[in-house]
Structure 1
Amino acid sequence: MSKRRRSKHTNGKTEAQAATPTPAINAPAPEPLSRVENKGEESALPAPRGAGFGVHAAVVGVLLGLCASLYVWTADFPMAFDDHTYLKDNPFFRSGSTFEYLKDFKEFATRPARIGADPDYAVNAIMRPVSYASFQMNYKLDGFNPHWYRLVNVAIHALNSVLIYAMVTVLLRRSKLSAGLRRSSVLFIAAASALLFAAHPLATESVTYIIQRFTSLVVLLSLTSLCLHFASVSVERKWARWLLRGGAVVSLLLAMQTKEDAFMIPLVAVMLDWLVMGAGLRKAVLRGLPLLLCMPLIPVLVFMTAAAQRGGFDFNAAMNIVNSRDTPLNHWQYFVSELTVMTHYLRQMFWPKGMNLDPEWPVYGSLFQGPVLMALAVLTGMVLTAWGLFRRFRQDVRFVMVFACVAWFFVTISVSSALTPLPDLVAEHRSYLPSIGIFILVACLLDWLRSSSSGARARMMQVGVPVLALACVGALSWKTCVRNNVWRTRESLWEDTVAKSPGKYRTWGNLGAAYSDAGKNEKAVQCFREALKVEPRFQNGLLNLSNSLLRLNRPKEALDTTMQLISLDKNATTKPPVAFTLGLSLAGVGRYDEAVAVFRDILRAIPNDVQTHKALGLVYHQTGLPHRALDHYHVAESVQPNDAQLKNLIQAAEVALAEKGRPR
Structure 2
Amino acid sequence: MAKKVSAAKTTAVPSTPAASNAPSPGQWLDKTPLHIILILLVALAGYANTFGVPFVFDDQTSIIDNQAIRDVGRFLSGDGFAYNPRRFLGYLTLALNYHFSALEPAGYHAVNLAIHVACGWVVYALCRVTLATPFFRAKSLPRSATATIPLLAALLFVAHPVQTQAVTYVVQRLASLATLFYLAALLCYAKGRVLQEESGNAFPARGVVFFLGALVAALAAFATKEIAATLPLALLLYDFSFFGRGMKKRYLLLTASVLCIAAIAVAVATAERPIGELISDISRATRETQQVSRLDYLLTQFSVIVTYLRLLILPVAQNVDYDFPIYSTFFTPPVFLSFLVLALLFALALYLYRLSAPQTGDTAEEKGRGGYLRLIGFGILWFFLTLSVESSLIPISDVIFEHRLYLPCFGAFLAFASVFAMAFEKSASSARVAVAAFVVLALTVTTWQRNSVWGDSVTLWSDNAAKSPNKWRPQNNLARALLKENRVNEAFAAGSNAVRLAPESFEAHNVLATVYEKMGALDAAIEQYRLSVAANPNYLIALSNLGAALQKKGALSEATACFRKAVELDGANMVAHNNLAGALLQQGNLEEARQHVLEAGRLDPAALEPRVNLAAITEAAGDLDGAIRMYQEVAGQNPGYAFARYRLAGAYYHKKEMEKAIGCYQEVVRLDPGYVPAYLDMGRAYAALRQIDKALEQFKQARRVAPQNQEAALLEAKTLQFLQAMRR
State the TM-score, normalizing by the size of structure 2: 0.72
Which of 171, 185, 192 is the matching residue for 1:225?
A: 185
Alignment of 1:477-556 (within 5 A): 477-556=444-523
Q: CA deviation at 1:193?
A: 0.7
Correspondence 1:653 to 2:640: no
Distance 2:294 2:100 in 1: 42
Quote the residue 1:631 is aligned against: 620
Matched, 1:77 2:31: no
1:228-243 matches, within 5 Å, as 228-235=188-195, 236=199, 238-243=204-209
d(CA) in 1 for partners of 2:556 and 2:79? 44
Partner residue of 1:119? none
Q: Distance in 2 between matches of 1:530 and 1:256?
A: 40
SS class of match (1:650)? helix
Cα 1:18–1:89 shift into 2, 3 Å:
closer
* 1:129 partner letter: F
1:513-569 Cα offsets, whole Å, 9 max, x none, are 111111111111111111111011222222222222222222343344345445556
Q: Contact 1:616–1:629 (CA<8 Å) still a contact in 2?
A: no
Query: CA 1:608–1:348 in 2, change beyond 3 Å: closer, same or farther?
Result: closer
Say whether the 8 Å CA contact 1:616–1:632 is kept in structure 2: no
Shift of 1:140: 0.8
Please give the residue correspondences for 1:575-614 in structure 2 after superposition, counting only pairs within 5 Å: 575-584=543-552, 587=553, 592=554, 595-601=555-561
Structure 1 partner of 2:127: 168
Residues 218 and 261 in structure 1, CA contact (< 8 A), matched pair in contact too: yes
Other-structure match for 1:348:
311
Match of 2:596 in 1: none
Counterpart residue number, 1:272:
238
Residues 231-254 of structure 1, C-alpha deviations (whole Å, 9 max, x = no match): 112323622211210110111011
| SS of aligned partner of 1:74 | coil
The whole-number CA distance in structure 1 between the counterparts of 2:416 and 2:471 is: 35
2:191 and 2:215 map into 1 onto residues whose CA distance is 13
Aligned to 1:314: none
User: Given residue 472 of structure 1, which amino acid in structure 2 is its aligned partner?
Assistant: V
CA contact (8 A) 1:338 1:417 kept: yes
Cα deviation, residue 320, structure 1: 5.6
User: Is 1:75–1:146's contact at 8 Å kept on the other side of the alignment?
Assistant: yes
Q: Are 1:474 and 2:450 matched, yes or no?
A: no
Map of 2:210 onto structure 1: 244
Q: Is contact 1:614-1:636 (8 Å) kept?
A: no
Of stretches 139-148 and 392-401 in structure 1, the one that deviates more from structure 2 is: 392-401
Q: Distance in 2 between matches of 1:559 and 1:459?
A: 71
Structure 1 residue 256: Cα displacement: 0.7
Question: Is the Cα contact below 8 Å between 1:172 and 1:186 reproduced in 2?
Answer: yes
Return the offset for 1:382. Answer: 1.2
Shift of 1:336: 1.1
Identify which of 396, 405, 415 aligns with 1:422: 396
- TM-aligned CA distance change 1:367 to 1:570, over 3 Å: closer
Question: Are 1:22 and 2:37 matched, yes or no?
Answer: no
Out of 365, 382, 388, the position equivalent to 2:345 is 382
User: After alignment, is 320-329 or 263-272 more displaced?
Assistant: 320-329
- Alpha-carbon offset, residue 631 of structure 1: 1.6
Aligned partners of 1:243 and 1:518: how far apart in 2?
A: 54
Residues 72 and 151 of structure 1 are in contact (CA less than 8 Å); yes or no, is this contact kept in structure 2? Answer: no
Give the SS at the match of 1:380.
Answer: helix
Do the aligned residues in 2 keep the contact of 1:338 with 1:425 (CA within 8 Å)?
A: yes
Does the aligned pair in 1 maintain the 2:39–2:158 contact within 8 Å? Answer: yes
Maintained 8 Å contact 2:51/2:109: yes
Residue in 2 aligned with 1:286? 252
Distance in structure 2 (CA, Å) of the matches to 1:522 and 1:632: 41
CA RMSD of aligned residues (A): 3.5
1:20 is displaced (CA, Å) by 6.3
Q: 1:181: Cα distance to partner?
A: 1.3
Does the C-alpha gap of structure 1 residues 364 and 391 become closer, same or farther in structure 2, counting only changes over 3 Å? same
65, 80, 99: which is aligned to 1:89?
Answer: 65
Match of 1:60 among 33, 36, 45: 36
Q: Give the direction of change, closer, same or farther, for the CA distance of 1:268–1:160 in structure 2 (3 Å limit).
A: same
Q: Which moved more, 1:405-414 or 1:82-91?
A: 82-91
Contact 1:126 1:301 in 2 (8 A): no
Aligned partner of residue 378 in structure 1, secondary structure: helix
Contact 1:127/1:298, CA 8 A, preserved across alignment: no
- Look up the match of 1:623: none
The one-letter amino acid paired with 2:110 is L
Partners of 1:508 and 1:558 lie apart in 2 by 18
Matches of 2:486 and 2:55, distance apart in 1:
17
Distance 1:511 1:264 in 2: 36
Q: Distance in 2 between matches of 1:325 and 1:565?
A: 13
The 3 A distance-change label for structure 1 pair 495 and 195 is same
Structure 2 contact 70–98 (Cα < 8 Å) conserved? no
Q: Residue 149 of structure 1: which of 108, 111, 115 is its match?
A: 108
* Between 319-328 and 634-643, the greater mean CA deviation after superposition: 634-643
Where structure 2 has 5 or more consecutive residues not aligned to the other structure, the ranges are 13-26, 281-286, 359-369, 568-574, 589-615, 636-643, 662-683, 689-728
Deviation at 1:177, TM superposition (A): 3.4
Give, as a single letter, the amino acid of the residue that structure 2 aligns with 1:338. Q
Matched, 1:263 2:229: yes
Instruction: Note the C-alpha offset of 1:488.
Output: 0.9
CA contact (8 A) 1:398 1:448 kept: yes
Conservation of the 8 A alpha-carbon contact between 1:609 and 1:636: no
Query: What CA deviation, in whole Å up to 9, does each residue of 1:32-55 have, x standing for no partner?
Result: xxxxxxxxxxxxxxxxxxx99980
Please report how far the alpha carbon of residue 138 of structure 1 lies from its aligned counterpart in structure 2 after TM superposition: 0.9
Check whether the contact 2:321–2:401 (CA below 8 A) recurs between aligned residues.
Answer: yes
Tell me, in whole angstroms, the C-alpha distance in 2 between the residues paired with 1:404 and 1:342. 17
The answer to which of 142-151 and 573-582 deviates more is: 573-582
Residue 434 of structure 1 is matched in structure 2 by 408
Shift of 1:92: 2.8
In the TM superposition, residue 158 of structure 1 has moved relative to its aligned partner by: 0.7
Q: Which residue of 2 aligns with 1:138?
A: 97
In structure 2, do the counterparts of structure 1 residues 578 and 127 end up closer, same or farther at CA, with 3 Å as the change threshold? same
Shift of 1:496: 0.7
Which of 464, 467, 480 is 2:431 aligned to? 464
Quote the Cα distance in structure 2 between the aligned partners of 1:139 and 1:567. 34
Distance 1:618 1:523, change over 3 A: farther
2:319 and 2:395 mapped to 1: Cα distance? 20
Secondary structure, counterpart of 1:422 in structure 2: coil
Shift of residue 628 of structure 1?
10
TM-score (norm 1): 0.79
Q: In the alignment, does 2:355 pair up with 1:392?
A: yes
Deviation, structure 1 residue 217 = 0.5
Tell me, in whole angstroms, the C-alpha distance in 1 between the residues paired with 2:71 and 2:395: 29
Task: Indicate conservation of the 8 Å contact 2:159/2:444, yes or no.
Answer: yes
Determine the C-alpha separation between the residues in 1 that align with 2:110 and 2:533.
Answer: 43
Shift of 1:580: 1.5
Q: Residue type of the partner of 2:113?
A: V
State the 1:292 CA deviation: 5.4
**What is the rounded CA distance, in whole Å, between the counterparts of 2:539 and 2:256 in structure 1?**
51
Q: Which moved more, 1:231-240 or 1:526-535?
A: 231-240
Partner residue of 1:187? 147
- The count of aligned residue pairs is 575
Kindly state the Cα deviation for residue 444 of structure 1 after the two structures are TM-superposed: 0.8
Whole-angstrom distance in 2 between the partners of 1:20 and 1:555: 77
Alpha-carbon distance change, 58 to 292 in structure 1, aligned in 2, over 3 angstroms: farther
Tell me by how many angstroms 1:464 deviates. 3.4
> 1: CA distance between counterparts of 2:539 and 2:192?
59
**Pair 1:530–1:629, CA change in 2 (3 A):** farther
Matches of 1:281 and 1:24, distance apart in 2: 38
**Structure 1 residues 16-25 or 347-356, which shifts more?**
16-25
Deviation at 1:281, TM superposition (A): 3.9
CA drift at 1:318? 4.9
Structure 2 letter corresponding to 1:268 = A
Residue of structure 2 equivalent to 1:408: 382
Bigger CA drift: 55-64 or 441-450? 441-450
State the Cα distance separating 1:421 from its structure 2 match.
Answer: 1.6
Deviation of 1:576 after TM superposition, in Å, equals 2.1
Contact 1:260 1:298 in 2 (8 A): no
Greater Cα shift, 234-243 or 359-368: 234-243
